[in-house]
Structure 1
Amino acid sequence: MKAGEITEKYKQGDRDFTGIDLSRENLTGASLAGINLANSSLIETNFSCANLNSAVLQTASLHNAVLFRTSLSHANLCDADLSGASLIKANLHGADLGKTNLRDADLTGANLNGSNLSNADLSGANLSGVFLVGANLEGANLTETFLKGANLDGAKLVGANLEGANLTEASLSHAQLDRANLSSADLSNANLYGATLCSALLVKANLDGANLSNADLNGADLKDADLNGAFLTEATLDKASLDGANLSKTNLYKANLNGANLLRANLNGANLNGTNLTGAELYAIDEPA
């Protein structure tokens, strides 16, 4: 079907276009709110600045599709259903995906820089190598999401749920993760330089070798977290809970652990030079070798 045909039928009141082929068609700026394009082929289709609010795109193929923002407008996918959709290398730069359902979608290598994903459901989605620089993921559901090697520098993840997410080798430099739930998340070798993780929940998180230098972890819950070989140089951990945490060979040079809970923590081989432990609970810790 051609772009002109679908827009004409839409104007006539048709909404169900399940399973059609619109690959490489140009629908720039089209108003298609509430359209049903489930199971459709939308490979390299241009939806830039289009209105797809509340659209149904379940299991649709959007490989290399264009849904980005221009200087005048942005693609609107608020409340859209993209569950199970394939968006491999799609361009969603600056798109509005607030409250969008992206459960189990494949966004490998997609460009979501500057996009709005607040309160979106990305649980179980594949976001390997995705670009989310400066994106808004506040309150988003990212449970069990695969984010290996993703770039989330400067992203806003306040109150996001990342429980069980895989963030190995991801970059979250200067990201905001206040009150985020990262319980049992895998953040090994991730870059969290200068990130804000105030009151974040990191219980049993895997932070093996992660870079948390200059990070703000005030009041964070790192109970039983694995920080083996992690870098926490000049990090702030005021009143953070590290009860039972593995801090062996962790670099805590000039870190601030004022009032932190280190009960049962393993500090074997940790670098504590210049570390501020004023008021910290140090009973029953494993002493450095």
Structure 2
Amino acid sequence: MDVNKLQTWLWPSITGIAIIGSFILIYTANKKLREETVRDNILISKVLLQLIYASISLAIGIYCLNHAMKLGFEQNLTAYIAIIGGIPTIYLWIIRERKKEQDLKNKDIELNNKKIELNQIKIAELNKIYVDAINQFYSKEQFLAGAYALSGLIEDWMQLETFSSSDFINNTTKIEQISSIIFSKFQSKKHNILFSRLVSRIVQKLIYFSLKRNNWDERMEIPWQQYNLSGIDLSNMNLSNYTFSKVRFNNAKFENSILKNVGFVDSNITNANFKNTRLENAEFRNTSAQNMDFRNSNLSGAKILKSNFSASNFYSSHLENITINNSSLNDTNLNGCNLKNATINNSSIQKSELNRVVLCYANILHSNLYNSKFNHAKMSEIVIDQTIMGAAVLIGANLKGAIMTNTSLNTANFENTNLENTNLNNSVINFVKFSNANLTNASIKDSDTFKTTLFLKSLKLIEVNLIQLKDMYILNNNNTRLIINRKIEKRLKQEKQLSSNNDTFKLTELDIHILENSQ
């Protein structure tokens, strides 16, 4: 056989067989690792031996390829040794790293099991302490010691780690159980100052714990409806961002507390004290809150929805951007409050004091403000629509640019009030007093003005019609009533080119001068 011909097909064949064989060995080694669940030393040794064979085959293949194709690679023994040892070395490195990871996992599992074991021991200890604390709590001589022991247990249960959702449920159940026991004695023992303070701190802890848990997957809902905590003192606390649902906190104290973004839903807080409290963006929904003390508090952006705040005191409070919907604030003291940009809708604020309030740019819609006092109030640019303001007193108030349409103002008192550019169209303003009021550029189009009292000099540029002028009780400078007789009526019709008594027109200074000298 010709040697040249033999080399022509021998070297490529050996090359192909060696390289293909090496890949087959690597593939089967990888498959074996994937299929075997238990990776013991025997398996690792078998795979390692297989990879060594694969490396030798790959080295032979490369050598033959270089010889057959005359690639010109340097025939260096070191290079082939590196090829032979490279794959097994990489494999051993990977095995070592995986072993490290597995060891770490085993340590974590062992540590976690140890924690669970210690937790169980701790729970057993807490249950034993619980029995002793209960016996003390129901003993007259050791009542206070038992209360403090139970309070400590609540903290211990809060600090216990939870390893599953069932652990969390068990812990919170214990917390609620111990809290209920302590709270059950509050009404009969609240005269005890130390016990009362202890209960206040427990409530604070429960709220903090609940807020903390709300950031986790689990959530703790405190069943406040089961507890009667009337008269509790939560003054000087920060309870922001918490929602009190169905609480019975009547006669409670929140003085000087921070309650930003809190909610009171379906709750009873009648006679509670919120003096000097920060309640920005708070929400009161379906809440009974009569006779409340909110003096000097900040309720900016708050919402009062379907709630009863009658007979409450908001003196000098910040109520900017407040929303009051479907609520009652009758007989309420709002003197000196700032209600700028407030929205009051479908609510009742009858017989209330709103002297010197700031109501600029506020919206009062579909509400009842009957017999309320707005003396010297700042109400410029306010919008009042479809509202009852009968018998309201607005002496010295500033309603410049206000819109008071479709509103009942019967027997209201606007003495010395600034009503410049005010819109009183489509309103009922019978028997109203506008003595010394400024009605420059005001409009009372389509409004009832029967026996409404005002001074002739205040009618400058007011928009009226002849029927309204006849109905009104207009006083001259000498306090005698101006009678719109046929002569004046005819002259005004000619002057203003009116076709009927219903046509509206603006009274100029010349018209007022004519009326003054027509008597």
**Is 1:185 paired with 2:397?**
no
CA distance in 2, matches of 1:129, 1:78: 24
Task: Give 1:103's aligned residue.
Answer: 320
The one-letter amino acid paired with 1:85 is A
**Greater shift after overlay, 37-46 or 192-201?**
37-46
Following the alignment from structure 1 to structure 2, what is the Cα–Cα distance between the partners of residues 192 and 55? Answer: 35
Letter paired with 1:51: N
Whole-Å separation in 2 of the counterparts to 1:124 and 1:23: 28
Q: Name 1:71's counterpart in structure 2.
A: none
Q: Which residue of 2 aligns with 1:76?
A: 293
Letter paired with 1:222: L
Range moving further from structure 2, 7-16 or 189-198: 7-16
Deviation, structure 1 residue 230:
1.6
Residue 32 to residue 249, structure 1, CA distance change in 2 (3 Å): same
Q: Which moved more, 1:248-257 or 1:190-199?
A: 248-257
Report how far residue 214 of structure 1 moved.
0.5
Residues 188-212 of structure 1 show CA distances to partners (whole Å, capped at 9, x for unaligned) of 1111001111011111111111111
The structure-2 alpha-carbon separation of the partners of 1:267 and 1:150, relative to structure 1 and needing over 3 Å to count, comes to farther
- Describe the SS at the equivalent of 1:257: strand
Give, in angstroms, the shift of residue 21 of structure 1. Answer: 2.1
Mapped pair 1:56 → 2:297 = no
CA deviation after TM superposition for structure 1 residue 249, in Å:
6.0
Letter in 2 for 1:22: F
Tell me the equivalent position of 1:275.
Answer: none
* TM-score, with length taken from structure 1: 0.85
Distance (Å, rounded) in 2 between the aligned partners of 1:153 and 1:100: 22
In structure 1, the residue matched to 2:431 is 214
Secondary structure at 1:251 match in 2: helix
| Structure with more of its chain in strand, by fraction | 2
Q: Contact between 2:457 and 2:512, CA under 8 Å: does it hold in 1?
A: no
Matched, 1:143 2:360: yes
The reply to whether residue 158 of structure 1 matches residue 380 of structure 2 is no
Whole-Å separation in 2 of the counterparts to 1:162 and 1:188? 15
d(CA) in 2 for partners of 1:138, 1:241: 24
Which amino acid is 1:46 matched to? N
Report the equivalent of 2:254. Answer: 32
1:251 deviates by: 2.3
Query: What CA distance in whole angstroms lies between the structure 1 residues aligned with 2:372 and 2:410?
Result: 13
Q: 3-state DSSP class of the match of 1:220? A: coil
CA deviation digits over 1:132-183, x for unaligned, max 9?
1101001111111110122111001111111111111111111101111111
Aligned ranges 1:112-151 → 2 under 5 Å: 112-151=329-368
Q: Which runs of 4+ in 1 moved over 4 A?
A: 1-7, 10-14, 264-271
Q: Which has the higher helix share?
A: 2
Task: Using structure 2 for the length normalisation, give the TM-score.
Answer: 0.48
Q: Report the equivalent of 1:232.
A: 449
Whole-angstrom CA distance in 1 between matches of 2:397 and 2:321: 21
What SS class does the counterpart of residue 127 from structure 1 fall into? strand
> Quick one: distance in 2 between partners of 1:12 and 1:113?
27
Q: Distance in 2 between matches of 1:13 and 1:65?
A: 20
**Larger gyration radius, structure 1 or structure 2:** 2
RMSD value, Cα: 2.9
Q: Give, in whole Å, the separation in 2 of the partners of 1:13 and 1:99.
A: 20
Q: For 1:200, which of 417, 438, 448 is the aligned residue?
A: 417
Relative contact order higher in (CA < 8 Å, ≥ 6 apart):
1
Counterpart of 1:196, as a letter, is: N
Aligned to 1:282: 512
Instruction: Quote how far apart the aligned CAs of 1:266 are.
Output: 7.3
Deviation of 1:19 after TM superposition, in Å, equals 0.8
1:8 is the counterpart of 2:200: yes
Quickly say closer, same or farther: Cα 1:79–1:93, change in 2 above 3 A: same
* 1:67 and 1:75 in contact (8 A); partners too: yes
CA distance in 1, matches of 2:317, 2:297: 5
Gapped regions of structure 1 (runs ≥ 5): 69-73, 272-279
Displacement after TM superposition at 1:65 (Å): 1.9
Q: Find the aligned partners of 1:243 and 1:55 in 2 and give their Cα distance.
A: 47
> Number of residues paired by the alignment?
270
C-alpha change, 1:6 and 1:42, in structure 2 (3 Å) is: farther
Q: CA deviation at 1:12?
A: 8.4
| Aligned residues of 2:235 and 2:253 also touching (Cα < 8 A) | no
Contact 1:228 / 1:250 at 8 angstroms: preserved in 2? Answer: no
- C-alpha separation in 2, matches of 1:63 and 1:35: 20
Q: Report the residue type matching 1:248 in the other structure.
A: N
Q: Report the 3-state secondary structure (helix = DSSP H, G, I; strand = E; otherwise coil) of the residue aligned with 2:265.
A: coil
- Report the Cα distance in structure 2 between the residues aligned to 1:12 and 1:67, rounded to whole angstroms: 17
Q: Report if aligned partners of 1:222, 1:240 keep a CA contact under 8 Å in 2.
A: no
**In structure 2, what residue type is equivalent to 1:29?**
N
Tell me how far apart the structure 2 counterparts of residues 38 and 191 of structure 1 sit (CA, whole Å).
37
What is the aligned-residue identity percentage?
A: 19
- Structure 1 contact 61–86 (Cα < 8 Å) conserved: yes
1:99 aligns to what SS in structure 2?
coil
SS in 2 for 1:22: strand
- What is the rounded CA distance, in whole Å, between the counterparts of 1:170 and 1:163 in structure 2? 17
Q: What secondary structure does 1:17 align onto?
A: coil
SS of equivalent to 1:31: coil
Aligned 8 A contact 1:245 1:266 in 2: no
What amino acid sits opposite 1:205 in the alignment?
T
Give, in angstroms, the shift of residue 67 of structure 1: 1.3
